[in-house]
């Protein structure tokens, strides 16, 4: 990290740490002053007019150096990064919220943040059947190229992460700082996720678990994702909070039904009554998010300006679109890992995973264990 970059991030960390300055206020400050640095050096009167307290203004203009230095030191570690709202690597799905977290702390692969994600959440005390269902759904969806996003909690979250790692990749959103693992029983799982996926949080290093952090974590989980799948949940649970955030954010919500005698099915049944989509197979999730994937790829974004291709509207167009044709020509009937397909096709990595998923949905390619792909038999 260069000296200039450290200085830029210092101002963002000061914004995020100022007492009483939440994400909406940060957006106001950026709109008013143009940058985090300008907001931190703005006149006290101008900051008071935006509703900032004297304590918040003092923190902006003379932030405590210790926590900021600790965060910057943490970011110097391998595979660690601090992302701000103005950074290209900041996830676009999350940026589209009305009040996205101004700063994110990441350990792992930052490119996963740009890939299509499905959130999976549920009870911390699931039935054995619920654990199996979560693991199987996550493994299947991750094997198709979707990133499984969850909260690292005991129960359904842990099963979803574990299933995703069997065939693909996963993101764990934390309710602590990036240097803490909660619960401690998931320390090994968190290590494996950091190595093969990503750990993400809006809380700075040194932050321990606190009850108020977990609703904020849940909002990030749903905000990152195309849709949220609830496997098992009691009527009053954090999983339903995540699902309601997803509804508010205009994202899909899926719920797996269960026995009327199972108290952990009641939360899912409540969601279905409220309009969540009832699913009993992973393919039904794919059918629902397929149109969103096409729109996600087709939208004119900065990434596409750098070479990411647009998805054509349907199956017949796929076979004539030059980018899809280039991808199919790079494949054979022997299963290939995505990295091999990217190298052979020469297409951008961020586009290939979504393209492969759409081709799978249209029946042109087959997925295999380990996240590999081949042309479907008969082509």
Same domain, 273 and 308: no
Same domain, 148 and 239: yes
pLDDT score recorded for residue 102:
97
Instruction: For the chain, report the end-to-end CA distance as a whole number of angstroms.
Output: 48
- 366 pLDDT tier (thresholds 50, 70, 90): confident
Q: What span, in angstroms and rounded, lies between the C-alpha atoms of 12 and 48?
A: 19
Same domain, 275 and 326: no
Same domain, 180 and 272: yes
Same domain, 163 and 211: yes
pLDDT score recorded for residue 226:
95
- Comparing 87-101, 266-280, 305-319, the range with the smallest average pLDDT is 305-319
Same domain, 144 and 251: yes
- pLDDT tens-digit profile of 298-312? 553 344 344 333 333
Same domain, 278 and 317: no
Same domain, 278 and 331: no
Indicate whether 351 pLDDT > 80: no
pLDDT score recorded for residue 309:
35
Q: What span, in angstroms and rounded, lies between the C-alpha atoms of 56 and 63?
A: 9
Average pLDDT over residues 197-208: 97
Dig out the tokens for 43 from the structure: 């006149």
Kindly state whether residue 93 falls inside one of the protein's structural domains: no
CATH of the domain at 320: 1.10.10.10
Q: How many domains does the chain have?
A: 3
Final residue of a structural domain among 287, 309, 324: 287
Same domain, 175 and 267: yes
What is the domain range of residue 144? 110-287
Kindly state whether residue 89 falls inside one of the protein's structural domains: no
Indicate whether 332 pLDDT > 70: yes
- pLDDT tens-digit profile of 135-152? 999 999 998 889 999 999
Q: Which residues share a beta bridge with 252?
A: 227
- 372 pLDDT tier (thresholds 50, 70, 90): confident
pLDDT score recorded for residue 347:
87
């Amino acid at each position: 990290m260069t000296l200039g970059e450290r200085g830029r991030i210092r101002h963002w960390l000061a914004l995020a740490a100022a007492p009483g300055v939440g994400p909406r206020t940060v957006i106001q400050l950026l709109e008013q002053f143009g940058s985090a640095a300008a907001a931190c050096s703005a006149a006290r009167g101008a900051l008071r007019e935006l509703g900032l307290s004297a304590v918040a203004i003092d923190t902006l203009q003379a932030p405590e150096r210790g926590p900021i230095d600790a965060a910057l030191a943490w970011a110097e570690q391998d595979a660690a990064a601090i992302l701000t709202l103005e950074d290209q690597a900041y996830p676009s799905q999350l940026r589209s919220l009305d009040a996205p977290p101004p700063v994110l702390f990441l350990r792992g692969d930052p490119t996963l943040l740009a890939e299509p994600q499905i959130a999976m959440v549920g009870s911390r005390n699931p039935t054995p059947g619920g654990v199996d269902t979560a693991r199987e759904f996550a493994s299947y969806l991750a094997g198709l190229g979707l990133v499984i996003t969850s909260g690292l909690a005991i129960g359904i979250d842990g099963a979803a992460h574990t299933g995703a790692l069997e065939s693909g990749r996963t993101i764990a959103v934390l309710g602590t700082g990036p240097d803490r693992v909660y619960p401690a029983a998931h320390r090994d799982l968190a290590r494996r996720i950091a190595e093969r996926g990503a750990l993400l949080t809006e809380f700075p290093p040194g932050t321990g678990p606190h009850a108020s952090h977990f609703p904020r974590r849940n909002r990030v989980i749903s905000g990152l994702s195309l849709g949220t799948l609830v496997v098992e949940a009691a009527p009053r649970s954090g999983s339903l909070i995540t699902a309601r955030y997803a509804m508010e954010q205009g994202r899909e919500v899926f719920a797996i039904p269960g026995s009327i005698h199972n108290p952990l099915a009641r939360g899912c049944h409540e969601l279905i009554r409220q309009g969540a989509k009832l699913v009993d197979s992973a393919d039904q999730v794919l059918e629902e998010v397929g149109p969103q994937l096409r729109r996600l790829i087709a939208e004119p974004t900065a990434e596409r300006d750098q070479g990411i291709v647009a998805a054509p509207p349907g199956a017949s167009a796929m076979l004539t679109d030059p980018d899809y044709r280039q991808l199919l020509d790079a494949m054979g009937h022997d299963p290939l890992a995505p990295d091999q397909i990217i190298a052979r096709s020469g297409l951008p990595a961020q586009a290939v995973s979504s393209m492969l998923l759409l081709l799978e949905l249209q029946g042109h390619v087959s997925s295999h264990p380990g996240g590999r792909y081949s042309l479907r038999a008969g082509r």
